[in-house]
């Protein structure tokens, strides 16, 4: 397993692989890897000849400087885990490598549709930061396929639209959320939960399941369902930010009979949790 921290070195390796006819898969991460990330890596190995995992805590997608500073950085542990899998290379650049002239003046990529509400409303500039870094990673690694977890469902749709709109020649694969035994979606932020918060955290997924069950049983008053779920989150000790039923295709207003997804975001103390469940 090779480790690159410079853009040109990674590009040259990818160009060499492509010249040899190898199919490249990219798994973009911000590190602090867990089994959800490793699931993506394993699936990438089934879909390509060479797997590249990127590890970069992208400052452009943080609207809170304190959140950026406390985001867990565990590169040595990440490399140890990846070395046991079928990973050809890890691209782990520093900020200087990714934004050599500074992040303030870097060219940005925007996806106007899909980014104005939910996560986009709560985290101004977040999706511009995501779209920008993902586009840069695609140009560095030159993959034919890239894999993203469905836990960040809105992000997955944004990346798919970015690729379609810019005619990028690669496939975007969404992979199901990996969960702890009690239902909590695996996340790098989970380690920041206190003991009491960790006990309560699975209630977010349980409440999403309740909404889904109501919809499947014929309840189509989505506003009432969302209000009921909001009250349950508060009763469980969360500070809810949103919980909503939307189109699973493009997050527009829910329509009975179409594929749906229920999405939620809430805080437990200093930790912000997001999750979703397709109906």
CA terminus-to-terminus distance, the chain: 39
Are 187 and 273 within 8 A, CB to CB? yes
Active site residue 126: no
Catalytic residue among 34, 37, 126, 221: 37
Q: Give which of 139, 103, 132 is closest to 10, Cα–Cα.
A: 139
Q: Give which of 114, 148, 120, 133 is closest to 63, Cα–Cα.
A: 120
Residue given tokens 């997608």 in the structure block: 61
- Report, as residue numbers or ranges, the catalytic residues: 37
């Amino acid at each position: 397993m090779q480790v690159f921290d410079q853009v040109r070195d990674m590009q040259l390796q990818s160009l060499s692989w492509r010249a040899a006819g190898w199919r490249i898969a990219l798994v973009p991460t911000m590190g602090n890897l867990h089994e959800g990330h490793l699931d993506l890596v394993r699936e990438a190995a089934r879909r390509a000849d060479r797997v590249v995992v990127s590890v970069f805590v992208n400052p452009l997608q943080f609207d809170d400087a304190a959140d950026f500073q406390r985001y867990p950085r565990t590169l040595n542990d990440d490399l140890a885990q990846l070395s046991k899998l079928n990973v050809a290379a890890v691209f782990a650049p520093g900020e200087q490598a990714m934004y050599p002239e500074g992040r303030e003046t870097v060219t940005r990529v925007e996806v106007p549709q899909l980014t104005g509400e939910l996560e986009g409303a709560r985290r101004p500039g977040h999706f511009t930061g995501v779209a920008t870094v993902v586009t840069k990673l695609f140009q560095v690694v030159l993959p034919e396929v890239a894999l993203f977890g469905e836990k960040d469902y809105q992000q997955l749709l944004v990346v798919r639209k970015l690729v379609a709109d810019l005619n990028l020649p690669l496939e975007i694969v969404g992979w199901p959320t990996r969960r702890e035994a009690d239902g909590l979606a695996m996340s790098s932020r989970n380690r920041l939960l206190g003991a009491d918060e960790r006990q309560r955290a699975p209630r977010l997924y349980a409440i999403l399941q309740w909404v889904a069950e109501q919809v499947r049983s014929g309840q189509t008053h989505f506003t009432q369902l969302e209000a009921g779920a909001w009250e349950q989150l508060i009763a469980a000790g969360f500070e809810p930010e949103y919980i909503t039923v939307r189109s699973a295709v493009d997050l527009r207003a829910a329509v009975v009979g179409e594929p749906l997804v229920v999405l939620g975001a809430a805080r437990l103390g200093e930790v912000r949790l997001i999750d979703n469940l397709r109906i």
